[in-house]
């Protein structure tokens, strides 16, 4: 090939590469940071994440890992079982940094579930209602009769402002990122229940369902206050509660369970949470 044509070809190649650079930039993997509690960590789902602190009970099949695998994102996973909103800015365990320390100006995507452990309100309600249900052999509404609105009052007065503060810290540390917080998938059906697997009195099933609805509403409102995307799982998780058979349920029951960490998502639930999150965020 004559020298003139070689020069022309080289010039054309440089021009093509220059024009292609925006597309190449878009093709770069997302810098993805996963925050949150045991619903984000998939505590109890095997196999465990070998990179996680032992006490965090993080699974290699949690929804952040699913999202990263589907999108090719570069994942930094700091999810940790039993995390509360305060552990976004303070250490949860010795040697475990505050979760927002994983964020930076170059973070592209953040996901989380958080709030369910604050004040022990949700786990305490499950335990209290379970004990109350056993005491009446599943009859009546002993938990609602005893505790009334106290659990929901705590969510509104304490959990909600803590969520607002925690999400503001996330936004401040990752100002350019797409940030999403997931609601908690339904643990119980709207009515009826399954006393043989979830020992909650029949009349307390709607009581606990209402508490979960109040918690998810607090998450939604806190997200809205901080300009963060809320991934509503209420419709997607309907009919996949802990009372459903294996292969249908997303949440494992207290009895007849397959996971050592009960009342938490199984692998199917984590995969479904990933799918809904990707749908809402428009990720492929």
Reply yes or no on whether the pLDDT at 14 is more than 80: no
Q: What is the pLDDT of residue 262?
A: 95
Residue matched to tokens 């369902």: 209
Q: What is the pLDDT of residue 15?
A: 42
Model confidence band, residue 122 (pLDDT cutoffs 50, 70, 90): confident
What integer is the mean pLDDT of 19-35? 71
What integer is the mean pLDDT of 141-164? 97
Q: What is the set of domains in the chain, with CATH numbers?
A: 31-281 (3.40.50.1110)
Q: What is the pLDDT of residue 267?
A: 98
Burial class (CB in 10 A: 0-12, 13-18, 19+), 13: exposed
**Which of 8, 18, 38, 210 is the catalytic position?**
38
- Is residue 107 within 8 Å of 29, Cβ to Cβ? no
Q: Is 139 a catalytic residue?
A: no
Sign of CA dihedral 153, 155, 157, 158: positive
* Tens digits of residue pLDDT in 92-121: 999 999 999 999 999 999 999 999 999 998
* Tens digits of residue pLDDT in 77-87: 999 999 999 99
Burial class (CB in 10 A: 0-12, 13-18, 19+), 176: exposed
Reply yes or no on whether the pLDDT at 183 is more than 70: yes
Question: DSSP class of residue 79?
Answer: -
Burial 103-125 (b: 16+ CB within 10 A, else e): beeebbbbbbbbbbbbbebbeeb
Q: What does pTM read for this prediction?
A: 0.90
Reply yes or no on whether the pLDDT at 4 is more than 90: no
Burial class (CB in 10 A: 0-12, 13-18, 19+), 87: buried
Average pLDDT, the chain: 92
The residue among 11 and 47 whose pLDDT is bigger is 47
Model confidence band, residue 26 (pLDDT cutoffs 50, 70, 90): low
Burial class (CB in 10 A: 0-12, 13-18, 19+), 96: middle
Reply yes or no on whether the pLDDT at 264 is more than 60: yes
- Strand pairing category for 74-77 and 31-34: parallel
Q: Is 240 a catalytic residue?
A: no
What integer is the mean pLDDT of 195-215? 98
What integer is the mean pLDDT of 187-201? 97
The residue among 228 and 121 whose pLDDT is bigger is 228
Reply yes or no on whether the pLDDT at 24 is more than 60: no
- Is residue 261 within 8 Å of 46, Cβ to Cβ? no
Q: What is the pLDDT of residue 116?
A: 96
- Is residue 92 within 8 Å of 52, Cβ to Cβ? no
Reply yes or no on whether the pLDDT at 21 is more than 50: no
Q: What is the pLDDT of residue 284?
A: 73
Reply yes or no on whether the pLDDT at 20 is more than 60: no
Distance of CA 230 to CAs 131, 141, 222, 233, Å?
33, 32, 9, 9
Q: Which residues sit opposite 178 in a β-bridge?
A: 109
Q: What is the pLDDT of residue 123?
A: 86
Q: What is the pLDDT of residue 159?
A: 98
Q: What is the pLDDT of residue 139?
A: 97
* Tens digits of residue pLDDT in 154-177: 999 999 999 999 999 999 999 999
* Tens digits of residue pLDDT in 48-74: 999 999 999 999 999 999 999 999 999
Pair of tokens at residue 102: 């994983």
Model confidence band, residue 275 (pLDDT cutoffs 50, 70, 90): very high
Distance of CA 57 to CAs 31, 66, 206, 225, 260, Å?
23, 17, 30, 31, 11
**Which of 65, 87, 240, 264 is the catalytic position?**
264
- Is residue 129 within 8 Å of 208, Cβ to Cβ? yes
């Amino acid at each position: 090939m004559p020298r003139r044509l070689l020069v022309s070809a080289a010039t054309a190649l440089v021009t093509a590469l220059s024009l292609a650079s925006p597309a190449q930039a878009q093709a770069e993997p997302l810098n993805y940071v996963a925050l949150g509690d045991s619903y984000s960590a998939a505590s109890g789902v095997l196999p465990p994440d070998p990179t996680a602190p032992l006490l965090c009970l993080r699974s290699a099949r949690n929804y952040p890992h699913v999202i990263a695998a589907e999108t090719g994102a570069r994942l930094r996973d700091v999810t940790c079982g039993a995390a509360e909103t305060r552990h976004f800015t303070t250490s949860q365990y010795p040697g475990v940094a505050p979760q927002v320390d994983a964020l930076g100006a170059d973070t592209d995507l953040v996901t989380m579930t958080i709030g369910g452990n604050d004040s022990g309100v949700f786990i305490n309600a499950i335990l209290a209602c379970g004990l109350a249900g056993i005491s009446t052999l599943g009859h009546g509404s002993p938990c609602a009769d005893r505790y009334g609105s106290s659990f929901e009052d705590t969510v509104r007065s304490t959990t909600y402002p803590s969520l607002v503060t925690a999400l503001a810290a996330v936004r401040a540390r990752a100002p350019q990122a797409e940030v999403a917080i997931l609601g908690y998938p339904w643990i119980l059906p709207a009515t009826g229940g399954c006393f043989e697997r979830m020992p909650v009195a029949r009349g307390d099933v709607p009581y606990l369902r209402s508490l979960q609805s109040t918690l998810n509403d607090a998450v939604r409102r806190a997200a809205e206050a901080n300009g963060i995307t809320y991934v509503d799982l209420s419709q997607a998780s309907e009919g996949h509660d802990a009372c459903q058979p294996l292969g249908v349920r997303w949440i494992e029951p207290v009895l007849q369970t397959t996971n050592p960490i009960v009342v938490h998502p199984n692998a199917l639930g984590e995969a479904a949470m990933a799918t809904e999150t990707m749908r809402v965020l428009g990720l492929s």
